[in-house]
Homo-oligomer: A and B are copies of this chain.
């Protein structure tokens, strides 16, 4: 029995530096994969290790680079690695150097069994359902996918509005790894003050299951000190496409902790610890709150890891724990 701790992270110490929108996947055999946005926003990289902490020093392999022009040529963001029906897929977002905010979700599929060494093929932009004239028509990103009752669902962020826009989260059932099978359903829009800074934002959905409930965390507000995590939840047995089944918490579940120098935490994902049981929340944050220039181009969003505990009603708690756990 391996006696190493779940990981050796101290909650307010970066686990990996200068990687944002972190995503970690644990395979059944215990292998871990890590991917994230790099500060240059120009490529997709993967790391692999036999242990979680091994990801820190693991070699970083670039498995795809941005195009020279046109779609996917700038702002390559928030990749996620998923295993669907026996193939590896990466979901990510990208813009166009000639129209840098024309961000859309794209899909890669690995041509082989080894996501590090085998080639990746472009499946192009994520496709909406045939009868959906709304999805992926505007600034859209942060697509995540998850299996549920024999099918796969996608949740993504997309902006609406004329002039200044609002970023909402939508859900749909998928008909294939690169196409939706149902029209979009609005899950959450920035309803509360904590979601509404200079920009009104809901983005970065992540799914966590526990004891009969599905939790959907998301990130809210402007990138910077106000950035924080909110949450929706639904019971496992309910129709995920009926927004009336989802409940949104009125308060954020995780936000800046200036005393501990954790600033603007968010864009999280979830992964099991090495024990295969403990849920970990992987997120990024900064160690300072003041930046010169656009926070988007400040490279110092670092990866942090926090264990998730559950309260007496089975709801996840994203609270800073003692430094050793």
Contacts and interface: CB of A to CB of B under 8 A. Distances in A.
Contacts of A200: 134
Interface residues of A, number: 24
Contacts of A186: 189, 191
Nearest to A249: B244
Contact of A133 (B137, B163, B242, B244): B163
A160 interface: yes
Contacts of A250: 242, 244
A32 to B, nearest CB: 37
A116 interface: no
Contacts of A185: 191
A9 B189 CA distance: 43
A46 B137 CA distance: 43
A208 interface: no
A54 interface: no
A166 interface: yes
A162 interface: yes
A133 B164 contact: yes
A191 B160 contact: no
Given A160-B161, A161-B160, A191 B242 contact: yes
Nearest to A248: B244
Contacts of A183: 196
Given A196-B183, A242-B250, A250-B242, A163 B191 contact: no
A138 interface: yes
A134 B164 contact: yes
Interface in A113-133: 133
A166 B196 CA distance: 21
A147 interface: no
A105 to B, nearest CB: 16
Interface of A: 133-134, 137-138, 160-164, 166, 183, 185-186, 189, 191-192, 196, 200, 242-244, 247-248, 250
29 contacts: A133-B163, A133-B164, A134-B161, A134-B164, A134-B166, A134-B200, A137-B161, A137-B162, A137-B163, A137-B164, A138-B161, A138-B162, A160-B160, A160-B161, A160-B162, A160-B166, A161-B161, A162-B162, A183-B196, A185-B191, A186-B191, A191-B242, A191-B243, A191-B244, A192-B242, A242-B250, A244-B247, A244-B248, A244-B250
